[in-house]
Structure formats: C-alpha cells, structure tokens
Amino acid sequence: MLTRRSSGILLHVTSLPGPYGIGTIGRGAFEFLDFLQAAGQSCWQILPCGPVSAAFDNSPYMSLSAFAGNQLLIDPEQLVEDGLLSRGQLPSPPRFSEYLVDFDQVRAFNQEFMDVAFKEFVSAGGAPEFNAFCNDEVWLGDHAFFMALREKFVSSPWVAWPNGLPCRDSAVVCHWREELKARILFHKFAQYCFAGQWRKLRDHAHGRGIRLVGDLPIYVAFDSADVWAHQDCFLLDRRTGMPTHVAGVPPDYFSDDGQRWGNPIFRWKTGKIFNGSLLAWWRERFARVHSLVDAVRIDHFRGFEAYWQIPANEETAINGKWTAGPGLAFFAGMKDVIGDMQIIAEDLGVITPEVVALRDSLGYPGMKVLQFAFDSGSGNAYLPHNYETNNCVVYTGTHDNDTTLGWYLSDKSSSVARDMALRYANSRGERIHWDFIRLAYASVAALAMVPLQDVLGFGSDCRMNIPGTARGNWRWRCAARFLTAATAEALREEAACYNRLPSYPEKGDAG
C-alpha cells in the first residue's frame, strides 16, 4: 500500500540520451538519476527490459525472455571501465540519430563490440564471478541455448526449428548444445555484463534516493525461451506446438476491434488443481524482478481475475471470451517471493467489481490516467475529485497514450473533453502539459507519475506506442540538451508545492 506522497518520471531506458543510438544502463542512465534527484523526484519508472525482436517491432512487451536483460542496453563505456574492453578495442560508433532508435543499426554496432569483449574475456580465462553467476541464475541455461539456436536458424520461430528441437528431444538437444557451445557461452557472458551494469545502476539510484519501478507484462511472447522451455505451462497444440488460444482485450478506447496481442495463454490448471510447473515458473519470475527493481507495475493485472481468451485462428479480438483467472490464491502462493516489493496494479480498460475486489484485497494501488478523465462528465473515475483513496498512482498519460500536448491537439480528442480539461485545470491551453502535471501533483494519489514527454511539452511525434499498430513504435529518444537544470528546478518547485519532495536525500546530498 502507498502512503507517502511522492512523484516520479516514466521513461524507458532506450529513450535515454547517449552516443550509441539507444539509451543504455551506463552514463546516460546515471546522469538521468542525477536529474531526477535535482528535480525532487522519488521514482524512475521504466518499461520491460528484456531482449527484443525485430519480428515484433522491438516491443518490450513481446520479449524473447521474461528473465534476461536486453543486450542492446549494455553500455560499451562501462565495459571499458570494467576492464572487459580496452579503449582501443571499442569500435567507433556510426552516426546515430539523437531522436529515434534505429534498432537494426544499434543491433549491428552492439554485436560488434560485444563480440570483441567476449573474445577478450575467453582469452583471459573468464572469471570466478562469471562461473558463480551462471550457477546462480537458473533461467540462464535455457535462455542462452534458445538465443544461440535463434542465431543458427536465422531468427525463425522455435516451432520451425529442425525435427526434435521444438519438442526438446533429449538426444537432439544434447547434439545442439555441443554444436553451439561457444555461442551459448557468449549469451551467458552478455547476461553477465548486463547484470553487473544493472547492479551499479541500482546502487546509484539508491544513492540518489530514487526507487526503480519496473514493468512486468502478465504474458510472454510465443517465440520466447520461456514458452519453448516450459511448454506445459501454456495452451499449445501438442502436435504442432502452436497456441490454441491467444491473449488480448475486447474492443475498448484504443481499438474498435479490440487488441489481439497473440501471446499464448497460460495453462493455469491441470485438471482441477493449479499447474505446479507454472507456479514454479512464476515464483522464479517474481524473484527475478525483485532482484532488479524496487517496485513493479503488473501490466494487465485484470488477467489474474479474468482474461480475454481468443481462439488462435481469429484475426481480431472480437470473438474472444472472458475466462476465470487464478485469483487471490495465486498471490497467496507468491507472497514470500514478492516480499517487500511494491506492486502497482495496471487496472485500466474493462474493469469489473471482481477485479477491484482482488486488487483491494491485496492492497495494491491502481492507476488513474488524466487523459481518460474528461470525456464522460463529473462522475468520471479518473477525475481527481473522485479518487476514493490515496492508495493509487496518477499518470498524466502512459506509454500507450499520446503525449498530453498531442492528446490536446489531436482531432481524435473530442471538443467536449478538451473544454472539460481546460475548465477543470483552469487553463487556457498554452501549457496544458504543465496544467496536467499540477492536477496530478495536487491530487490525493500517493504517487504521481509523469512521462518525460509531458514534462518537456512534446507533441504526438514523440509518443512511445500506438496500440494496435505493428510498426514504428518504441523508437523515441530524448536528446541530452532537453534535460536542463531549469527543467529540474521547475519540477522540484511543483513537487515542493504539493508536498511530494522526498525526505532523503536532500538536493545536493551525495549518494
């Protein structure tokens, strides 16, 4: 449960500034944490940081692993500082865009310096810490093997791999483990580098009084190490390996056809009892998340109460049906691994009294999004005067929304909603993004979270994702020159005005 008033910024790691074409967990992330401290913020919320695939438009919500880190976030400068690369071995980066991630270009450059670092690491005989890391991370073997196989078979999905591999025939698996042992070792090394850099990032965050808020998608991608290695945990055709049903949501605010995400559905039960293999997988997943972040938003929380199950042969989400989820008993079984990690329930969309009851029985804060507040009169649940408790997180918008300025200027926003927003915020619209920030900060919500695009007053060209579209998302980056001391001071003044400043550390304190 949230009690203390605080505020934070929503920005994915990939959107950070830096010279390598994509935000990394190196210097740019450290400097952003310093900016957050100067701005009087308490939290940095990020999107999922798993490995992404070009086949899914590099979406962080369709990761190749629910456990691994994204190799593209590894910072080459940190590899030099850690002695894994010499300065002379670091390749010169191509001319990257400051404003958009070109994932193909970034992937090629990243692979170049990671291959050099791995070669040097192997030549030096490895390290005892690496061996301990490989032994401790139980998910790592399946992930590294899966990634090596994807390389071998040119990113084809695992169901299309040669006979024996899709069903994990033991003799075939043994053959390919030996055949690909060098590349398997490389992918373990990449995760070792990610883990070391993430540890430093989290330490720096804590030294600046900043809590890291992660994002845990309820579902995983079909073409992932998780589904391939744990096929009994998902509703798959036992003959073809393909999903029999997939996930999504019915028609809503974002789409008249609903959203057909395509993720396989969990096999929650075997007969009348919980699927023990799936529960073990979820326990490992929560433990992993707890080791990386201080709090986590569970994306599509309502799926634990009931989920939209779509026959896999349907092209849209319209003909799905609601199916009962695992409910309260599931979270009771996870309580010890969740521990003191704060959970935020993403409870947007079609929410029933049963979903609210599950959320409230667990004490998890829900989400309030101001962009949803102005289209249905004074009783709208997202209007701040209707918040029934402070145990909630208010957002001006999320990664799935337009920016606030973009929303205000868009012809998709009704004149009724715009007029209501102006009246409610006592605004003339010239700085509607800051007016929304003040509404969020002034609310009773314990935590106010603002996308960086709204802090900076950016338009629709800077939004992160358009739900229901398959290409061109997840690419936005913030250039370093926009993260100014004046902007930090303006945010700090608002946080102070609405009693959201952290009690420790004060501005200027060392970490």
- Distance, in Å, from the CA atom of 391 to the CA atom of 364, rounded to the nearest integer, reads 8
Beta-strand pair 321-324/273-274: unpaired
- Distance, in Å, from the CA atom of 122 to the CA atom of 374, rounded to the nearest integer, reads 59
| Contact (CB, 8 A) for 453 and 403 | yes
Minimal CA–CA distance to 338: which of 370, 304, 373? Answer: 304
pLDDT digits (tens, 9 = 90+) for 27-62: 999 999 999 999 999 999 999 999 999 999 999 999
Q: Copy the structure tokens of residue 324.
A: 């009962």
Within 153-241, residue ranges assigned H as helices are 170-179, 181-207, 225-229
**What angle (nearest 5°) sits at the alpha carbon of residue 329, between those of residues 326 and 330?**
55
- Distance, in Å, from the CA atom of 490 to the CA atom of 405, rounded to the nearest integer, reads 18
- Determine the average pLDDT of the residues in 287-300: 97
Rg, the chain, Cα only: 23
Beta-strand pair 211-217/259-264: unpaired
The catalytic position among 223, 226, 400, 402 is 400
Q: Which DSSP state fits 348?
A: -
DSSP assignment string, 279-307: HHHHHHHHHHHHHH-SEEEEETGGGGTEE
Asked whether the predicted pLDDT for residue 369 surpasses 80, the reply is yes
pLDDT of 511 reads 33
- Distance, in Å, from the CA atom of 413 to the CA atom of 415, rounded to the nearest integer, reads 7
- Determine the average pLDDT of the residues in 199-226: 98
Please return the burial class of 334, using the count of CB atoms within 10 Å of its CB with bins 0-12, 13-18 and 19+. Answer: middle
Q: What are the C-alpha distances in Å from 5 to residues 66, 343, 385?
A: 31, 16, 17
Minimal CA–CA distance to 71: which of 142, 20, 124? Answer: 20
| Contact (CB, 8 A) for 235 and 215 | no
To the nearest whole percent, how much of the chain has pLDDT over 90? 93
- Distance, in Å, from the CA atom of 239 to the CA atom of 121, rounded to the nearest integer, reads 42
pLDDT digits (tens, 9 = 90+) for 439-464: 999 999 999 999 999 999 999 999 99
Sign of CA dihedral 446, 451, 457, 459: negative
pLDDT of 57 reads 95
Minimal CA–CA distance to 434: which of 448, 413, 417, 414? Answer: 448
pLDDT of 349 reads 81
- Distance, in Å, from the CA atom of 72 to the CA atom of 59, rounded to the nearest integer, reads 13
Beta-strand pair 211-217/392-395: unpaired
Beta-strand pair 245-249/259-264: antiparallel
Buried b (16+ CB within 10 A) or exposed e, 354-378: ebeebbeebebbbbbbbbbbbbeee
Q: 448: which strand partners? A: 7, 394
pLDDT of 255 reads 77
pLDDT of 505 reads 44
- Distance, in Å, from the CA atom of 108 to the CA atom of 275, rounded to the nearest integer, reads 40
pLDDT of 270 reads 87
Stated as kind and residue range, the H or E segment containing 261 is strand 259-264
Please return the burial class of 276, using the count of CB atoms within 10 Å of its CB with bins 0-12, 13-18 and 19+. Answer: exposed
Asked whether the predicted pLDDT for residue 20 surpasses 60, the reply is yes
Q: Which DSSP state fits 480?
A: G
Q: Copy the structure tokens of residue 182.
A: 């060098």
Please return the burial class of 6, using the count of CB atoms within 10 Å of its CB with bins 0-12, 13-18 and 19+. Answer: buried
Minimal CA–CA distance to 247: which of 218, 282, 226? Answer: 218
- Determine the average pLDDT of the residues in 62-77: 98
Cis preceding linkage at 250, omega within 30:
no
- Distance, in Å, from the CA atom of 399 to the CA atom of 466, rounded to the nearest integer, reads 9
Q: What are the C-alpha distances in Å from 294 to residues 16, 42, 194?
A: 20, 12, 18
Mean pLDDT of the chain: 95
Q: How confident is the model at residue 251 (pLDDT cuts 50, 70, 90)?
A: confident
pLDDT digits (tens, 9 = 90+) for 141-181: 999 999 999 999 999 999 999 999 999 999 999 999 999 99
The catalytic position among 346, 347, 435, 454 is 346
- Distance, in Å, from the CA atom of 246 to the CA atom of 313, rounded to the nearest integer, reads 9
- 3-state SS assignment for residue 55: helix
The catalytic position among 223, 299, 305, 435 is 299
Stated as kind and residue range, the H or E segment containing 417 is helix 415-425
Q: Copy the structure tokens of residue 336.
A: 């010890």
- Distance, in Å, from the CA atom of 218 to the CA atom of 266, rounded to the nearest integer, reads 10
| Contact (CB, 8 A) for 224 and 241 | no
- Distance, in Å, from the CA atom of 476 to the CA atom of 464, rounded to the nearest integer, reads 6
- Does residue 346 carry a catalytic annotation? yes
- Does residue 400 carry a catalytic annotation? yes
